[in-house]
Structure 1
Amino acid sequence: MNEGLISQRYAKALFRYAKELGVEELVYEKMKLFLENYEAYPDLQKALLNPVLSPRDKELLLSTAIGIEPGEAYIRAIRLLIKNHRESYLRTIAFIYEDIYRKANGIIRVNIITAQELAPAVMEKIQKLVTEHTSRQVEFSSSIDPQIIGGFILKIGSEQLDASVRKELKQIRSALLNV
Structure 2
Amino acid sequence: MNIGLISVRYAKALLMFAQNNNKEDEVYAKAKFLQDVFVNTKALHTALENPLLSKQNKRELIITASGGKVSDVFMRFINLLLENGREACLQSIMLQYQEVYNESKNIIRGTLITAVEIDDATMSMLKKSVEQKVEGTLELEKTVNPEILGGFILDLDFIRWDASLSRQLNSIRNQYIERNRRII
TM-score (norm 1): 0.82
| CA deviation string 1:91-147 (max 9, x = no partner) | 211121112112222222232123454344433333233334443222222234555
Unaligned runs of 5+ in 1: none
Aligned counterparts, 1:8-157, within 5 A? 8-67=8-67, 69-145=69-145, 148=148, 150-157=150-157
SS in 1 for 2:160: strand
* Aligned residue identity for 1:79: N
Taking structure 1 as reference, are residues 165 and 101 closer, same or farther at Cα in structure 2, changes over 3 Å only? Answer: same
Equivalent residue, structure 1, for 2:4:
4
Question: Per-residue deviation at 1:64?
Answer: 2.0
How many residues matched? 179
TM-score (norm 2): 0.80
Pair member with larger Rg: 2
Equivalent residue, structure 2, for 1:158:
158
State the percentage of identical aligned residues: 37
SS in 2 for 1:37: helix
Question: Per-residue deviation at 1:71?
Answer: 0.6
CA RMSD of aligned residues (A): 2.5
Taking structure 1 as reference, are residues 68 and 150 closer, same or farther at Cα in structure 2, changes over 3 Å only? Answer: farther
Deviates more, 1:105-114 or 1:71-80: 105-114
SS in 2 for 1:51: coil
